[in-house]
Structure 1
Amino acid sequence: MAWQNKTLFNRLIFYPPAISAGQWDRFVTHGFIHADSMHLLFNMFTLYFFGRAIEGLYREFVFGYGFVIFYVLAIVAAMIPSYIKNKRNASYLSLGASGGVSAVLFAFILLAPWEMIYLFAVIPIPAIVFAIAYVAYSIYANKQGGSNINHLAHLWGGAFGVVATIILHPPILLHFLNALISPQF
């Protein structure tokens, strides 16, 4: 609907001056609009495959809504640093579910660090190697700037996924460390 209705799109997008003026719902709504169908498809493809793997971890919380709450909180948490950095920047806009999707992906990596992730759906790479490369690239790209991608949201979404999963399931940290020292391909 937001692609067809510019007024709706502008009301939902992450825009720090509007948030500072009291439109706090934009911390959530920006995660449910995307720039185009490819942006949406990529995020939902990733969410579908990795979300299915970790949904069971969170289902037991909050009367079965733990995964949904985890995902929405990740969307919010991933944008807090961007908001702080751009609070007074009237030209800053952000949209998409990448922060929440990164949280899901990194929670999955805690579960299965040596599982193969298929980069661009064809190149197999161990999840832990992907995580290291993804974090390094996101830091580099964030420092470079000049793109329309919110790399900071990717980093903070991933961090949220790791921290929240460890807090809710402390044994997962030991599982992750044991899995790291005992690779299984």
Structure 2
Amino acid sequence: MLNHTTLIIIITVIISLAAWQNKTLFNRLIFYPPAVSRGQWDRFVTHGFIHADSMHLLFNMFTLYFFGRVIEGLYRPFVFGYGFVLFYVFAIVVAMIPSYIKNKDNASYLSLGASGGVSAVLFAFILIAPWESIYLFAIVPIPAIVFAIAYVAYSIYANKRGGSNINHLAHLWGGAFGVVATIVLRPQILPHFFGALLNPFG
């Protein structure tokens, strides 16, 4: 039986590949604020299952595979065993809400990719293992908590600077959702996090 992380990856890869072959499908799934305002609210979810190119898809799915399997056990007991799936989908939706509010009248704004959900998964993992090594570009090991601080700082900076095709705002809100949802559903994770943080060699 496939775990839910692998199932999400398979579905995302299939939909991304299909969208690359079908421009009409691609345009229907991408997050486009004027279309959302006209009632196509499903775009809050569908944009998270398509990607700009193969590297975009590979990076997000590699990250999801590595960290999703670790935290899936935290959420699986909820909602008849589908807690992790709902956590991931809600993260994609919540991560996009600030961008929608900011750009709802912007006819040139587009956004796509699983980064909101992946950021939620990554930050939930950091609560569990703050000193675990995260490999930047799959090569450079960085303690998870250090990566989190640098990631947030860079995302805030890049979002304020603008001029990028990357939705840094979704990264921030996805990560925030991952932290808050994990603490709400598993309150014991907070003392665990601080205990682990204060005992890096424990």
Match of 1:146 among 157, 160, 163: 163
Matched, 1:17 2:56: no
Name the CA distance, whole Å, in 2 between partners of 1:117 and 1:7: 37
Q: Is structure 2 residue 99 aligned with structure 1 residue 52?
A: no
Q: TM-score, normalised by structure 2?
A: 0.91
Q: Distance in 2 between matches of 1:184 and 1:5?
A: 51
C-alpha distance in 1 between matches for 2:24 and 2:95: 25
Q: Deviations over 1:85-141 (max 9, x none)?
A: 001000000000000000000000000000001111111110000000000000000
Question: Within 5 Å, which residues of 2 pair with 1:81-100?
Answer: 81-100=98-117
Tell me which amino acid in the other structure corresponds to 2:122: L
How many residue pairs align between the two structures?
185
Structure 1 residues not aligned, in runs of 5+: none
TM-score relative to the length of structure 1: 0.99
Q: What is the aligned partner in structure 2 of residue 181 from structure 1?
A: 198
Distance in 1 of aligned mates of 2:172 and 2:51 = 19
> Counterpart of 1:18 in structure 2: which amino acid?
A
**Aligned counterpart in structure 1 of residue 59 of structure 2, from 25, 42, 58:** 42
In structure 2, runs of 5+ residues without a counterpart are 1-17
Looking at structure 2, the residues matched to 2 and 48 of structure 1 have their Cα atoms a distance apart, in angstroms, of: 22
Instruction: List 4+ stretches of structure 1 deviating above 2 A.
Output: none
Structure 2 residue 188 is the aligned partner of structure 1 residue 167: no
Question: Percent identical across equivalent pairs?
Answer: 87
Matched residue, 2:95: 78
Q: Tell me by how many angstroms 1:23 deviates.
A: 0.2
Residue of structure 2 in register with 1:126 after alignment: 143
Q: CA deviation at 1:184?
A: 2.4
Output the aligned Cα RMSD: 0.7
1:103 match: 120
2:143 and 2:97 map into 1 onto residues whose CA distance is: 30
Q: Does 1:33 align with 2:47?
A: no
> 1: distance between equivalents of 2:68 and 2:152?
20
In structure 2, distance between residues paired with 1:21 and 1:51: 34
CA distance, structure 2, for counterparts of residue 184 and residue 85 of structure 1: 43
CA distance in 2, matches of 1:40, 1:9: 14
How many Å separate the matches in 2 of 1:111 and 1:23?
36
Aligned AA (1:56):
G
